[in-house]
Amino acid sequence: MATVILKATEKCNSNCYYCDVVRKANTGASMSPRVLETVFRRINEFLLAHPEERINLLWHGGEPLLLGPDYFEAAAAFQQKHCEQTQSRIQHSLQTNLTCFDEAFVPVLTRLGITAVGTSFDPEPHMRGPGKEIDSVAYNTKFLKSLNILEKHGFGWGMIYVVTKKSLSRPESIFTYLTNLQLKGGFNLNPVLIYDQDRRDVAITADEYTEFLGAIFPLWWKYRHRFPHVQPFRSLVENIIEGRTSLGCADSGRCTYQHINVAPDGETSQCGRSADWGLLQYGNVEARSFEEILHDGQRAQLQDRVERLPQGDCEGCRFWSLCHGGCPLDAYAQHKSFLHKSEWCDARRGFIEKYFEPITGVRYEPRV
């Protein structure tokens, strides 16, 4: 399934401590109805040409809900108009901070087939919130109220918790808090990603991330029946113990020909992060079809990376099939080249060797 990351707006009402969208020169632009309509025409064109394909349309930003329910109504209308034969193969998903979510969004999100939303949360004060002061009380209050609305209408939700330097002093407490908020553990513990300078002193090293996960893992392992869906733990169990292949975009080594990021002006890029960082630009949806964008020549360097790393940075690594060198953008952030593994590979390997394998008693052996 191809994923179209629709950055329908770069506006955001939060000034999260670690956010790249805030930090980079941000135009605050929103996608015009004309570009939005083009996106749906392109989706239809692609799906008609590929009857076996599906498209995941991920609403992203900025904060997409700032666009208001009418904007989503317009999207639904464009889909109806242009994708009559293909709309059953379009799956919408939404990444939102939930702070402007209200009852008015419920009908249109339902109409778009959205049954669950992805969000982000941080219980630490002054990490997420509006204004210079990063008013986390305002943010978190609104967030919790929105959860009430989501749950009332039967929407599922999952969240990302970004591990920063501020998280390191109390991993177990933060973990317990998150499992109390999302009782089945539907959350990801992601390291903070810094492209260039760590202006706000939040960056963590791979070792610190390893130790953060390592402090939590015994608790998760003991009680994983209560909150099974905690990443990256669940995914490691699936891949290492249950013998299933279940990897996210950063680890699958398969993002090359699957992702398109569409910016508000219709400019496309590999993914949200490459767009934020001005890398892997593939032209405008007004001028190019999704077929052309998905096979842009620049993508070959990502495929080349997957083929070359096992003879390079990743030579002899028994965890290759678990991470494929990690996210190419992470590698670029550190080395200004895609042909390296991500620094987070060390965190993963460290975590598996130091914590996962000894605690679970299962040693990872790659399948031949």
Partner 1 sequence: MTAPVLVCPFQEELLARLSGRTLVITIDDVRDIPRVLEKARLHSIRVHCLDVRTRLPLTSLTVSEEWRGAPLALHVSELGRFREVVRQLALLKQLNIRIYLPLSAPAGSAGIRILSSLGVSTAVDFGDAKPDWDQAGDLLAYALFGLRPHAPIEPFQFLISQYDQHQETDFGAVYFDEPAKYPHVNSDGRIALGRREMAKGLFFAESIDEADSLLSEAAERKKHERREKFFLMNDGCAYCQGWRVCLGTFAHTRNGANGCARFFSEVMDSIERFRSLRERKTELWQP
| Binding-site ranges for partner 1 (CB under 8 A) | 123-125, 137, 140-141, 144-145, 147-148, 152, 173-174, 176-177, 180-181, 183-184, 225-227
Compute the least distance from the CB of residue 179 to partner 1, in Å. Answer: 9
Cα 234 versus chain centre, distance: 16
Q: How far is the CB of 333 from partner 1 (least distance, A)?
A: 31
Angle 350-356-362 from CA coordinates, rounded to 5°: 125
When the beta carbons of 99 and 140 are compared against partner 1, the nearer one is 140
Rounded to a whole number of angstroms, the minimum distance from the CB of residue 66 to partner 1 is 23
> Min. distance of Cβ 181 from partner 1 in angstroms?
6
Q: How far apart are CA 353 and CA 282, in angstroms?
A: 39
Instruction: Give the nearer residue to partner 1 in terms of CB position, either 224 or 335.
Output: 224
φ and ψ at 231, to 5 degrees?
A: -105, 145
Chain center to CA of 108: 23
Closest distance between partner 1 and the C-beta of residue 184, in Å? 5
Nearest distance, CB of residue 167 and partner 1, angstroms: 13
Distance of closest approach, residue 217 Cβ to partner 1, in angstroms: 15
CB of 15 to partner 1, least distance (A): 19
By C-beta, is 68 or 228 nearer to partner 1? 228
Question: SS3 for the chain, per residue?
Answer: CEEEEEECECCCCCCCCCCHHHHCCCCCCECCHHHHHHHHHHHHHHHHHCCCCCEEEEEECCCHHHHCHHHHHHHHHHHHHHCCCCHHHEEEEEECCCCCCCHHHHHHHHHCCCCEEEEECCCCCCCCCCCCCCCHHHHHHHHHHHHHHHHHCCCEEEEEEEECHHHCCCHHHHHHHHHHHCCCCCEEEEECCCCCCCCCCCCCCHHHHHHHHHHHHHHHHHCCCCCCCEECHHHHHHHHHCCCCCCCCCCCCCCCCCEEEECCCCEEECCHHHHHCCCCEEEECCCCCHHHHHCCHHHHHHHHHHHHHHHCCCCCCCCHHHHCCCCHHHHHHHHCCCCCCCCHHHHHHHHHHHHHHHHHCCCCCCCC
CB of residue 79 vs partner 1: minimum separation in angstroms? 34
Indicate the residue among 180 and 311 with the shorter CB distance to partner 1.
180
Instruction: Name the residue nearer to partner 1 (CB basis): 231 or 258.
Output: 231
Nearer to partner 1, 172 or 196 (CB): 172
Report the residue number, 148 or 197, with the smaller CB distance to partner 1: 148
